[in-house]
Amino acid sequence: MPYRSSRMGVTRLSALAIVVLAVAVAAAVLAVSIYLQLERDLSKPRENLQWAVYQLQAEHLRVMLSAHMGIEGEIDVEELDQAYQIFASRVVILVEGGVFAPLRALPGYSALLDDFTAAISEIDASLSSTEPTASAYADRLLETLPSFSDRLQSVAMGIVADSSAEQTARQVEMLETMAWLVGTLVLIVGASLMLGGVTVKQLAALEASRRHLAAALDRAEESSRAKGRFLAGMSHEMRTPLNAVIGLLREIGYRTRADSIRELVSTADASAQMLSGLIDDVIDTTRIETGKFQLTEERFDPRTLIEEVARVLASAASDRRDRIVLETGELGSLGVVSDRTRLKQVLINLVGKAIKFTHGGTITISARIEQTGGARGRLMVAVADTGIGIDRDKVDSIFKRFFQAEIGGGLGLGLTISQDIVERLGGRISVESELGDGSTFTFEIPVDLVEAVPVPTPAMFGFEERPLAGVRVLVAEDNSTNRLVIEFMLRRAGADFAFAHDGGDAVARAIDGEFDIVLMDINMPVLDGLGARDEIERRMGDAMPPMIALTADALSEDVERFLAAGMRACVTKPIDERELIQRMRQVLGETPSFLSRLGAASDAPSAEAPPVDEGILNDAQRGALLDLVADLDAQAPGDDFDESRVQRVSGSAR
Amino acid sequence: MIGFSRLAFCAFAFLVAIIGAAAAGELPAPTGKVVLKVGGAISNTNAPGEALFDIEGLEALGIVGMRTSTPWTKGVHLFEGVRLSALLKAVGAQGEALRGIALNDYSAQLPIADSVASAALVAYRLDGKRMSIRDKGPLWIVFPYDTDSRLVTDEFLNRSIWQLKEIVVE
């Protein structure tokens, strides 16, 4: 409603403005015409007609007076002639002068001038024949001239009346013009006032609606933030139980002897992994929105990264009878510095998408490094598939959020996140595609180039049956399901372990028992993980065992905070068994007290480990463990993993 | 207007040059009939406190011709006379204004600077003939009315004194 009324206001306002303008122009024209009229009047040569008649009358009287004086002998003929000549010249001027044309047009005056001219001619004629005396001259003048007195007087009076009437008429005319002018001005002022009023009202309405809009925007933003917070919170909450589900599913897989059950568990595990990935995407998106998305640089070998991605997705590809081909020959042997984890995320996203939209085709991952000068370079990666492709008019919007949701697959966040990561790394991502002719996603990022990075040997524990045999572990974890998951992992690894249920408990047990390493959950009741660490350090000093933080908050700034607080490493939940054990071994390998204890024991931990507990791990379960290693590699069920499907990975740990 | 001013200035300079000698000394006394009496703040005289001119005396100051129409006559006429500036120079006028007085005792005031700049002429011949009183003679202060519309406003028309007999420098 306010919008409607304001629109009407605008129309009214325009009309009013046009009226004001028109009136103002009219007033200006009127004023200019008055000015021009006055100027014309001023510059026009005009003698005052009344003055002219008065002069004539005066000269007439003067010549008659002179004539009387001539009769009396008071003046000579020369003086008398001068007076007469002056009078005559006056008549000539009035007869000839251009400025006196209006005078000659007056009734009665023209006849008077004619009669004067005739009289002067007569006088001239009668006087020219002789040399008259003053009195004769005077007599001749007085014979004719006095008869004009009355006529001259009446004409003079008439002119006075005429000029005064004319002046009055002019004044009336001027008054009328001025009245118009004043009226116009009043109209302008009135209209301007109305215009001003309407404008003020409009501005007030505009301001009100602006405030209204701002408030609505605030509400919308707040609502959006609340939704984001809810989404992030919910995703976090979902991760913990999901973590447990994944851990327990795997445990079932280890324990079962029935292939059919193991197959079911594999499928359930794959689904749970997928769910976990989706939740990660949602959390990533929230982080991107809130600016909490941080990058951590490290040195790595891009070829290994790509091979890892291919391995992870190998089983998904085989499910859809797709072949993954790697073209990493141009990478050379240089290592790069960038965010490996995020790049892996991008690659998994792109290759995962390629697999999803390709059936029985080929996915080619090609990569090369282009040196741009010095130790700087560009890492360029292309993921090409032979799948269904993308409609040309949809190519532009493919990186938009929820786009994929529109074409019916997933949340549609993956490409958005990938684009964001690549752009945050200072690079570009693009896509080329034809409907029915596959798609090629290409991204390039600027990187620092370093010497070849030694590839860590995943074989460190790969097939080792009990990689942590003999290691004494204290696990501080308040969540019982998580404790169960960790228990299974540690048991499989052959570690000795004890649990603490909160921070205080952890401090007490750490001091009492002898542990080689502590796994410390960060969020715990009574005393949180960092507080517990500080307390243990205060009590034990240098004898404190090394600690690894367990956290659900995978933000890099959190990880840095934990490391700064004295944690030796950080493992994020859901806990990847392989990562946990690798980290533990890494930390233990750097711990002199453990190494010396190991040395004192004169044998390797695995050798010294107690014999396999038959109740925990039988042959069938050992088989399952092997499967699990494969699963962990592939992040998906991989019973029928076929070496030939992954090219150029022959040098890897598998 | 600029052209007009420049013309006036050139004429003024020319006249100053040719009558410089006369301006410095005594004026010759008139031999014929006196047609103009100049009084007031003047330094060159030929009578007690006055400079008297006959026609020859005026002609000796240089004859200038000017063709113009006037509001009081029919058609264009040739006026001949002496520049007002030359006349004032000759009498050593030292005032700001002058008062012109006619035979019938009509008088009007003329600011000297403005009148000189407007090329005022004290005319004594009209179309080659001496002006009688009836022809608004013997002397008539005229301006080149056709060259500048300002000269046909009341201000200058009032200064156009005919039947001039006397000038008082004030």
Residues A180, A547: Cα–Cα separation, whole Å: 99
CB–CB contact A46 B152 (8 Å):
no
CB–CB contact B71 A47 (8 Å):
yes
- Report whether A82 contacts A109 (CB < 8 A): no
- Report whether A284 contacts A293 (CB < 8 A): yes
CB–CB contact B72 A43 (8 Å):
no
Residue A357 CB burial class (10 angstroms; 0-12, 13-18, ≥19): buried
Q: In this structure, what DSSP letter does residue B145 have?
A: G
Of the candidates A42, A43, A89, the beta carbon closest to that of B133 is on A89
Surface of B (72-91) touching A: CB under 8 A: 72-74
Nearest to A649 by CA among A333, A386, A300, A309: A309
Residue carrying the six token digits 């750097």 = A590
Å between B163 CA and nearest CA of chain A? 8
**Three-class SS state of A129:** coil
Question: How many degrees, rounded to 5, is the angle at CA A98 between CA A97 and CA A103?
Answer: 80
- Report whether A208 contacts A2 (CB < 8 A): yes
Q: In this structure, what DSSP letter does residue A527 have?
A: S
- Report whether B107 contacts A59 (CB < 8 A): no
Q: Which residue of chain B is at minimal alpha-carbon distance from A40?
A: B153
**Predicted ipTM beyond 0.85:** no
| H-run or E-run covering B164 | strand B164-169
CB–CB contact A42 B153 (8 Å):
yes
Amino acid residing at A602: S
Å between A142 CA and nearest CA of chain B? 19
Å between A123 CA and nearest CA of chain B? 14
What residues of B are in contact with residue A42 (Cβ under 8 Å)?
Answer: 153
Nearest to A516 by CA among A468, A562, A564, A477: A468
Output the six-digit token pair for B21: 């000698």
- Beta strands of A320-360 (E only): which ranges? 323-327, 335-338
Å between B105 CA and nearest CA of chain A? 11
pLDDT of residue A130: 76
Å between A58 CA and nearest CA of chain B? 10
The residues that bridge with B82 in the sheet, in sequence order, are: B122
Residue B152 forms contact with A (CB below 8 Å): yes
* Residue-by-residue pLDDT tens, chain B, 170 positions: 444 455 555 455 454 444 444 444 578 889 989 999 999 999 999 988 899 999 999 999 989 999 999 988 999 999 999 999 999 999 999 989 999 999 988 899 999 998 888 899 999 999 999 999 999 989 999 999 999 888 888 888 889 999 999 999 98
| H-run or E-run covering A621 | helix A619-634
Output the six-digit token pair for A600: 């004192």
Q: In this structure, what DSSP letter does residue A550 have?
A: E
What residues of A are in contact with residue B153 (Cβ under 8 Å)?
Answer: 42-43, 45
What residues of B are in contact with residue A127 (Cβ under 8 Å)?
Answer: none
Per-residue three-class SS string for B38-83: EEECECCCCECCEEEECHHHHHCCCCEEEEEECCCCCCEEEEEEEE
CB–CB contact A86 B163 (8 Å):
yes
Q: Which residues of A touch B (CB under 8 A)?
A: 42-43, 45-47, 59, 62, 82, 85-86, 88-89, 92-93, 96-99
Q: Which residue of chain A is at minimal alpha-carbon distance from B163?
A: A86
Query: How far apart, in Å, do the first and last CA atoms of chain A sit?
Result: 72
CB–CB contact A89 B136 (8 Å):
yes
Chain centroid to CA A2: how far?
A: 29
Q: List % helix, strand, coil for chain B (3-state, nearest 5).
A: 30, 30, 35
pLDDT of residue A237: 79
Residue B105 forms contact with A (CB below 8 Å): no
* Residue A201, C-beta contacts closer than 8 angstroms, at least 6 positions apart: A9
CB–CB contact B136 A45 (8 Å):
no
Q: Running along chain A, 654 residues long, what does each successive block of 10 average in pLDDT?
A: 48 77 85 82 63 88 92 90 92 88 81 91 86 88 89 84 81 86 87 87 92 92 81 78 82 82 84 81 72 75 88 85 89 85 88 89 92 88 90 77 58 81 90 86 92 55 64 90 86 88 90 89 86 90 89 69 87 81 85 72 40 42 54 46 35 32
What radius of gyration, in Å, describes the C-alpha atoms of chain B? Answer: 15
**Three-class SS state of A376:** strand
What residues of A are in contact with residue B131 (Cβ under 8 Å)?
Answer: none
CB–CB contact B72 A82 (8 Å):
no
The residues that bridge with B168 in the sheet, in sequence order, are: B39, B99
**In terms of DSSP bridges, do strands B64-69 and B76-83 run parallel, antiparallel, or are they unpaired?**
antiparallel
CB–CB contact B74 A93 (8 Å):
no
Output the six-digit token pair for A310: 């291919």
Q: Which residue of chain A is at minimal alpha-carbon distance from B73?
A: A97
What residues of B are in contact with residue A99 (Cβ under 8 Å)?
Answer: 71-72, 157
Residues B75, B126: Cα–Cα separation, whole Å: 12
Output the six-digit token pair for A338: 């960038």
Å between A24 CA and nearest CA of chain B? 33
Q: CA dist A404 to A385, A411, A414, Å?
A: 17, 7, 9
Residue A112 CB burial class (10 angstroms; 0-12, 13-18, ≥19): buried
| H-run or E-run covering A520 | strand A517-521
**Three-class SS state of A506:** helix
pLDDT of residue A265: 86
Q: CA dist A210 to A10, A16, A220, A407, Å?
A: 17, 25, 15, 38
Residues A298, A561: Cα–Cα separation, whole Å: 17
Q: Before A574, cis peptide (omega within 30)? A: yes
Å between B94 CA and nearest CA of chain A? 32
Of the candidates B103, B135, B152, the beta carbon closest to that of A82 is on B103
CB–CB contact A93 B133 (8 Å):
no
**In terms of DSSP bridges, do strands A472-476 and A517-521 run parallel, antiparallel, or are they unpaired?**
parallel
Q: Which residue of chain B is at minimal alpha-carbon distance from A48?
A: B154
Residues A419, B153: Cα–Cα separation, whole Å: 87
Residue A305 CB burial class (10 angstroms; 0-12, 13-18, ≥19): buried
Residues A441, A351: Cα–Cα separation, whole Å: 9
Amino acid residing at A356: K
Q: Which residue of chain A is at minimal alpha-carbon distance from B152?
A: A45
Of the candidates A85, A88, A93, the beta carbon closest to that of B72 is on A93
* Residue B62, C-beta contacts closer than 8 angstroms, at least 6 positions apart: B15, B18, B19, B82, B83, B86
Q: CA dist A238 to A272, A289, A409, A550, A649, Å?
A: 11, 20, 22, 17, 35
Residues B74, B61: Cα–Cα separation, whole Å: 29
